[in-house]
Amino acid sequence: MENKIVFFDIDGTLLNTEKKIPQTTKASIEELKKNGVHVVIATGRPPFMFEQIREELEIDSYVSFNGQHVVYKGETIYKKPMKKHEIIHLHEDTLQSKIPMVYFSESEMRATVGEHQYIKEGLGKLKFYYPEKDEHFPFNESIYQALMFCEKGKEDSLIQKHASFYFLRWHTYSIDILPVGGTKAIGIEHMMKASGLNHADSYAFGDGLNDLEMLQAVGTGVAMGNARDSLKTIADFVTDSSDNDGIFKGLKQLKLI
Indicate whether 75 and 89 sit together in one domain.
Answer: no
Q: Which of 9, 176, 211, 245 is catalytic?
A: 9
Indicate whether 121 and 75 sit together in one domain.
Answer: no
HEC string for 228-250: CHHHHHHCCEECCCCCCCHHHHH
- Which of 179, 194, 226 delimits the end of a domain? 179
C-alpha distance from residue 230 to each of 8, 196, 209, 220, 223 (Å)? 18, 31, 8, 16, 10
Indicate whether 144 and 214 sit together in one domain.
Answer: no
Q: What is the distance of C-alpha 105 from the center of its chain?
A: 14
Q: State how far the Cα of 120 lies from the Cα of 107, in Å rounded to an integer.
A: 20
Indicate whether 186 and 172 sit together in one domain.
Answer: no
The mean pLDDT of 152-176, rounded to a whole number, is 91
State pTM to two decimals. 0.87
156 is catalytic: no
Task: Please state, for a pLDDT cut of 90, what percent of the chain lies above it.
Answer: 89
Mean pLDDT of the chain: 94
Domain of 134, in residue numbers: 84-179
Q: Return all residues near 30 (Cβ < 8 A) that are at least 6 apart.
A: none
Indicate whether 95 and 170 sit together in one domain.
Answer: yes
**pLDDT (tens digit, 9 = 90+) per residue, 80-94?**
999 999 999 999 999
Instruction: Write out the DSSP string of the chain.
Output: -TT-EEEE-TBTTTB-TTS---HHHHHHHHHHHHTT-EEEEE-SS-GGGSHHHHHHHT---EEEGGGTEEEETTEEEEE-PPPHHHHHHHHHHHHHHT--EEEE-SS-EEESSSS-HHHHHHHHHTTPPPPEE-TTHHHHS---EEEEE--TTTTHHHHHH-TTEEEEE-SSSEEEEEETT--HHHHHHHHHHHHT--GGGEEEEE-SGGGHHHHHHSSEEEE-TTS-HHHHHHSSEE---TTTTHHHHHHHHTT--
pLDDT at residue 188 tops 70: yes
Q: What is the pLDDT of residue 1?
A: 63
Indicate whether 233 and 170 sit together in one domain.
Answer: no
- Which of 179, 194, 212 delimits the end of a domain? 179
Task: Say which CATH number the domain at 171 has.
Answer: 3.30.1240.10
pLDDT at residue 30 tops 80: yes
Indicate whether 61 and 146 sit together in one domain.
Answer: no
pLDDT at residue 155 tops 70: yes
- Which of 133, 158, 179 delimits the end of a domain? 179
Indicate whether 202 and 244 sit together in one domain.
Answer: yes
Q: pLDDT tier at 209 (50, 70, 90 boundaries)?
A: confident
The mean pLDDT of 234-241, rounded to a whole number, is 98
Indicate whether 202 and 165 sit together in one domain.
Answer: no
Q: Return all residues near 140 (Cβ < 8 A) that are at least 6 apart.
A: none
Domain count, the chain: 2
Indicate whether 169 and 101 sit together in one domain.
Answer: yes
Any bridge partners for residue 147, and if so which? Answer: 102, 176
Task: Say which CATH number the domain at 209 has.
Answer: 3.40.50.1000
Indicate whether 194 and 107 sit together in one domain.
Answer: no
Indicate whether 90 and 159 sit together in one domain.
Answer: yes
